[in-house]
């Protein structure tokens, strides 16, 4: 049984049905997510782009002030729109680093390997396609240099708050003392701003979620009727958790290839993705719990988003 089929079957067989958000990003999912980033309600990318447009010089200065020699590693780089500003700045001040983008999407890595050298002449690039931790282990065999790891876009928000330290402690296993991590956190703000970002008027996020059902149909021979599921996000102001669900409009059964059928009650939910929101104090707590020291913060002009700079403790 392949991993995708195993994860889908186990997720949909559980009492609280769920699908792993890492499977959103096939070629069509990548394309739809680029639409999401451009839609008016989705502020996250715009805020973080603001940081890298206006503060890459300060970020590069902080990196160079902590490490004399390093490679830059980016987990989940997308199209490098944000990190490109930092890459250009580092090429001015530190010409001998290699950029290692890591992504589970082969399509993303192929695009970066092809397009980035044309956009940034002189960049040394080595794209790695696969799971983050497996590729970090491979990278340690390729290069003995210190690392600066970028984990942008509030990707950490795709884990529940209680799981954040566990993720960073796992990441820490592949780092040396003194290595740096720059990671994005979407900060708590007006609830309507947050909820609208995941329930845009044009329905792009709805298409993004439903595309995973389409991928399951196409890849695993399932028979989801996409018209019988509704996109349903909620935001809990207290916990800061914004959760996207797909709700079954009717009582129905869905065949998952040769595995069997899954029954859905009317209004039953599939847990699709969490997008956690934070206070700055939350980010400090997570850093210390994970074995890192927070040494800097870079904000957008609205202070809706922060890219935190952490150092791996010895």
pLDDT digits (tens, 9 = 90+) for 161-198: 899 999 999 999 999 999 999 999 999 999 999 999 99
Neighbours of 156 (CB within 10 A): 24
pLDDT digits (tens, 9 = 90+) for 45-91: 999 999 999 999 999 999 999 999 999 999 999 889 999 999 999 99
Cβ distance 41 to 196 under 8 Å?
yes
Q: How far apart are CA 80 and CA 117, in angstroms?
A: 12
pLDDT digits (tens, 9 = 90+) for 247-304: 999 999 999 998 999 999 999 999 999 999 999 999 999 999 999 999 999 999 999 9
pLDDT at residue 1 in the model:
58
Q: Which CB contacts under 8 angstroms, 24+ apart, belong to 107-110?
A: 107/26, 107/27, 107/30, 108/25, 108/30, 108/77, 108/78, 108/79
CA proximity to 180, closest of 165, 168, 166, 167: 168
45 to 135, 152, 186, 312: CA distances (angstroms): 25, 10, 10, 26
pLDDT at residue 165 in the model:
94
CA proximity to 65, closest of 314, 309, 313: 309
**Sequence ranges of the domains in the chain:** 3-38+204-276, 43-187+278-312
**Helix, strand, or coil (residue 117):** helix
**Average pLDDT of the residues of the chain:** 95
- The CATH class, in words, for 43-187+278-312 is alpha beta
Q: How far apart are CA 47 and CA 49, in angstroms?
A: 5
Q: What percent of the chain has pLDDT over 90?
A: 90
CA proximity to 120, closest of 151, 93, 83, 76: 83
């Amino acid at each position: 049984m392949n991993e995708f089929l195993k994860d889908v079957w186990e997720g949909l067989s559980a009492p609280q049905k769920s699908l792993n958000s890492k499977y959103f990003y096939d070629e069509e999912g990548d394309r739809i997510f680029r639409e999401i980033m451009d839609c008016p309600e989705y502020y996250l990318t715009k805020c973080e782009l603001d940081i890298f447009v206006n503060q890459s010089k300060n970020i590069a200065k902080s990196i160079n002030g902590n490490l004399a020699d390093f490679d830059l590693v980016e987990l989940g780089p997308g199209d490098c729109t944000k990190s490109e500003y930092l890459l250009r700045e580092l090429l001015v001040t530190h010409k001998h680093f290699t950029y290692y983008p890591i992504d589970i999407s082969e399509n993303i890595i192929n695009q970066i390997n092809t397009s980035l050298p044309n956009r940034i002449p002189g960049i040394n690039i080595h794209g790695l396609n696969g799971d983050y931790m497996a590729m970090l282990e491979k990278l340690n065999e390729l290069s003995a240099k210190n690392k600066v790891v970028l984990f942008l876009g509030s990707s950490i928000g795709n884990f529940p708050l209680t799981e954040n330290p566990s993720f960073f402690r796992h990441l820490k296993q592949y780092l040396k003392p003194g290595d740096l991590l720059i990671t994005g956190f979407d900060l708590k703000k007006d609830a309507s701003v947050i909820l609208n970002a995941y329930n845009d008027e044009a329905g792009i996020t709805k298409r993004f979620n439903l595309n995973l059902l389409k991928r399951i149909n196409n890849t695993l021979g399932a028979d989801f009727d996409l018209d019988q599921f509704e996109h349903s996000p909620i935001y809990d102001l207290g916990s800061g958790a914004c959760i996207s669900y797909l709700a079954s409009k009717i009582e129905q059964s869905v065949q998952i290839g040769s595995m069997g059928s899954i029954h859905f009650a009317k209004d039953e939910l599939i847990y699709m993705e969490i997008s956690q929101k934070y206070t700055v104090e939350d980010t400090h707590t997570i850093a210390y719990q994970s074995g890192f020291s927070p040494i800097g913060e870079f904000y957008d002009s609205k202070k809706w988003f922060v890219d935190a700079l952490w150092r791996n403790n010895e």
